[in-house]
Amino acid sequence: MKRSWMMVLIAAGLLPAGLCNMQQAQAAAFASMDLSAAASGAGNAFTASADDPSAMHYNPAGIAWQQGFNLQFSGVMRFENMSVQQSAARGTPYNSLKPGSLAGVYGGWMPADSNWGLGFSFDRPYLLNTGWGGAFGGTAQRTRFDALHGGLNAVYAVSSSLAVSLGGDMYSAKGDVDSATTTFNGKDRASFGGNISVLWHPRPAWGIGAMLKSGSTIKLNGTAAGAVSGNADVKVKLPDVVRFGVMHVVADQYRIEVDTSWTRWSRQKNLDVQGATSELNALSLRDSFGVMTGLSWFWREDTTFRFGYAFDQGATKDGGFNARIVDSSTHRISLGAGADLFDVHLDLAYAYSFSPNRTINNASVFDGTYRNRRQSLALSVSKHF
């Protein structure tokens, strides 16, 4: 039996390793979604549940209820169709940078005889891939941003019903900002942030969770060619994030959760390429809100079915719209299942996201009607030691 779960873990580990460098999709602005299958199936309403190692992304305080050492590998395949309908003369450009897949590793250690524990994570919570080629006069030819995140948290169980967590976040990033006149490539080895979270069970069938994660300022240092030439940099300001959720278990068989989130995208004012001279790429982003709802049905002791709906407010404003970051308010439906198999726990989820067509009419090169549809398939493999 040990060989069985070892083979599954090795396979799950190789999948994320092979996928880490592939292109990826984004939710509001350039945030990733569906970082674990259990959360994805329940609409990413997981802040007050947080009952597997991916709690490190949603609410690290949840590690307090996961005794022993727990490890999870997650892989997500994503598919996207993004286009803009412009005038007949301009045609219908498509985003040429198609989303691929992403991966994450999450773990937690909570000794049975201690109130203290640790959690860790490695994932990619922020990704941006847009490539419009010669559309828009080449002003938004290609924009790529990829932030590898590592997190480490201390977890403290105040009592049997209350836990808190405090942790640090480190980001290593790389990116490209290209136009018809300038190309830029740069990287930032290390930028830092932090987070604090709490999970409270006021009664056995209830849970209330919250997390605050600070942003981080990343300075991509690299080289530019064209109108801007030589050493240059681009600043990317990751947003502050607040999550809050309430969950309730009904008849020991159904778990209902409702989460809300607030993301401070307004920190990111531009993607200017700055060197001896500068190429300006002004952005018009607002802070965004999200609502996530999830239903988990504990069909059997080791088998769970999940259903979810989420609404994610778009971060890009109509005024000052820049196609380097394209998003819209999005509706999302999902379903998933989890079960014990081969001495590990497997979770699988499917999600479909759709946005109403969005028309930009600013008398600018970015005018047109934007359309976007996304699908994702997530698999998580967890092992308790």
Q: For the chain, what are the domain ranges?
A: 2-384
**Which pLDDT belongs to residue 79?**
85
Q: How many angstroms separate the CA atoms of 315 and 278, rounded?
A: 25
Distances (CA, A) of 123 to 101, 111, 339: 12, 25, 24
Q: What is the mean pLDDT of residues 65-92?
A: 84
Give the model's confidence band at 10: pLDDT under 50 very low, under 70 low, under 90 confident, else very high. Answer: very low
- Compute the CA torsion angle 164, 254, 294, 170 (nearest 10 deg): 30
How high is the pLDDT of residue 87?
A: 72
Can you tell me the mean pLDDT for 14-35?
57
Which CATH number applies to 2-384: 1.20.1250.20, 2.40.160.60, 2.40.50.180, 3.40.309.10? 2.40.160.60
349: tokens are: 């989820």
Task: Note the pLDDT of residue 86.
Answer: 83
Q: Which range is least confidently modeled, 128-137, 148-157, 215-224, 375-384?
A: 128-137
Q: 């726990």: which residue's tokens?
A: 345
Supply the mean pLDDT for the chain.
90
Instruction: Supply the pLDDT for residue 354.
Output: 92
Separation CA 177–CA 235 (nearest Å): 11
Predicted confidence (pLDDT) at residue 19 exceeds the cutoff of 60: no
**pLDDT (mean) for 307-323:** 96
234 contacts 272 by C-beta, under 8 angstroms? yes
pLDDT (tens digit, 9 = 90+) per residue, 55-65? 999 999 999 99
Share of the chain above pLDDT 90, in %: 79
Comparing 81-90, 199-208, 259-268, the range with the smallest average pLDDT is: 81-90
**pLDDT at residue 90 tops 60:** no
Span 9-23, average pLDDT:
39
Calculate mean pLDDT across residues 176-194: 97
CA gap 104, 97 in Å, rounded? 21
C-alpha–C-alpha distance, residues 55 and 47, integer Å: 8
- Checking if the pLDDT of 5 tops 50, the result is no
- What is the reported pTM? 0.90
The reported pLDDT for the residue numbered 101 is: 67
